[in-house]
Structure 1
């Protein structure tokens, strides 16, 4: 089983879309995505600096657009689709499109709304996120609870992202749990926590008019790592995860339980392959960062089908 994974916010870098725009039809596709998301994706994917594309309103549509472009190119070159798909945080929108639950235009419309709503929610109260690397997870969670912080991303491989008030995050960094390293993340606020309640409401209203299809390939949810069999549930989970922790650790465990034989991370790739190398040891993986990486991804995908 070859699983394709779609990255989340923070994976974007300045100019990363430039090589993709050299491919036939990509510029036109990106223009349509820009209209749906109400964001100039060509500008931000080729010219904007790191600070500009860190803006949640820009970053989320940019990342999903890149994943969808890479997914289309991979399927066209391989002549087949992957066996399964999952997305980390906002990457779950790309996963729903890839699995056939929603179409591209709907996905880009939703990610535009999601990015704007989460940015607005983050602006209400100064909050942030930090990655905690290493240490005993239960000890980290106990300290997080003491500081009134919340676990936001259980990334596996010894990485937990926590979120909440800035003074509490500073206290965690000043007195880290034994055996851990705390790294502040350059994000606008405490995503995947109760601070995002208003964004949940906005996205729920946006999906109320969507008529989803059931997934046509295996689709995992980062709610709890389970397989989702129907489109209505997939959309419900997509809305709920805005204020709930991302359980990527459970997704990787579920990949293993389903007999994963290879993993392909779509653009802008790198982070999820890194986590997989620690949590899914021995499973071949390819990070599709540029079109040049597609050959290796096709080889992995078609090698599984041989």
Structure 2
């Protein structure tokens, strides 16, 4: 069984779209996504520096477009029979090669397009509103985030609460991201939980906390302009790993998500319960397969970071799509594929 996952903010790197734009049809596809998202994705994905693409209003649309572009390239060869391949917009959503789809934070918007819940254009419209609203909310107060790695979960959560913070991302059994006031994050770093490290994150604000209430309201006002469809395959959400099959439920949860915790550990638990044998992460890949490597032992992992990965990724899809767990979780996967 194949899960395809989409990374969240922070995964972007300068120039990471450059090799993709060499594929036939890629520039045209990216141009359409840029128009819908009202941002110059070609420039930001090829020549903009790290500080520029760290901006929430740039990073989020860039990540959604990158995932859509890579997924459509993955599915194009099967869709058109072309040996050379390329990018056919909508090829992935039409082919539905995954058994499950999921995304971390803004990656859930990418996943909605791949599942056909939203058109690619509507996904870009949604992320444009989301990113600008979150950037505005982040600028209203001095807030921050920090990863808490290690420790005992109950003690970690107690320390986060004692510092007046929120567990904004529950990423794995060993990692929780705390968020809230800059002073609270600093205090947590000065008095970390036992056997845990507190690592400050270079982010614009306390995402997925009550500090984002204004962004949630703005997104709620925009959501009725969208016409969601039922996903082509179950979409596993950050809301406790809930698997949805209804487009209206997706919109409800994605609106709530900006001011609510992202529970990626619960998503991985759902993968395990469903018998996932392989996880493929779309561009820019590595963060989520890295978490799965530690959390889901024996599951095959594959990153899709550049067109050079397409052949291996297609073989991985063929090996895992529709496969039962007892077929051998490691078939078609490799540690090399997970670590590139």
Measured against the shorter chain, the TM-score band is over 0.9
Equivalent position to 1:140, from 148, 156, 162: 156
User: 1:3–1:263: 8 Å Cα contact kept in structure 2?
Assistant: yes
Cross-structure match for 2:36 = 36
Cross-structure match for 2:113 = 97
Runs of 5+ consecutive residues of structure 1 not aligned to the other structure: none
Q: Residue by residue, what CA displacement relative to the aligned partner does 1:158-196 show, whole Å, maximum 9, x if unpaired?
A: 111010111111111112111111111111000000000
SS of residue paired to 2:147: strand
Q: Residue by residue, what CA displacement relative to the aligned partner does 1:243-277 show, whole Å, maximum 9, x if unpaired?
A: 00001000000001001010000001110000000
Matched positions, count: 306
Cross-structure match for 1:109 = 125
| TM-aligned CA deviation for residue 216 of structure 1 | 1.0
Aligned residue runs from structure 1 range 196-275, under 5 A:
196-275=212-291
Q: Would you say 1:179 and 2:209 are equivalent positions?
A: no
Deviates more, 1:85-94 or 1:211-220: 211-220
SS of residue paired to 1:191: coil
Cross-structure match for 2:23 = 23
SS of residue paired to 1:145: helix
Deviates more, 1:256-265 or 1:174-183: 174-183
Distance 2:70 2:153 in 1: 34
Cross-structure match for 2:320 = 304
Q: Residue by residue, what CA displacement relative to the aligned partner does 1:26-72 show, whole Å, maximum 9, x if unpaired?
A: 10111111111111111111011100000000000000000001111
Distance 1:228 1:234 in 2: 7
Cross-structure match for 1:5 = 5
Cross-structure match for 1:153 = 169
| TM-aligned CA deviation for residue 157 of structure 1 | 4.0
TM-score, length of structure 1 as denominator length: 0.98
SS of residue paired to 2:126: helix
Distance 1:304 1:288 in 2: 15
User: 1:30–1:41: 8 Å Cα contact kept in structure 2?
Assistant: yes
Cross-structure match for 2:85 = none
Give the CA RMSD over aligned residues.
Answer: 1.1
Cross-structure match for 1:68 = 68
Distance 1:216 1:64 in 2: 18
Distance 1:26 1:217 in 2: 25
User: 1:225–1:253: 8 Å Cα contact kept in structure 2?
Assistant: yes
Distance 1:150 1:77 in 2: 44
Distance 1:30 1:206 in 2: 23
TM-score, length of structure 2 as denominator length: 0.88
User: 2:233–2:245: 8 Å Cα contact kept in structure 1?
Assistant: no
| TM-aligned CA deviation for residue 78 of structure 1 | 4.7
Cross-structure match for 1:167 = 183
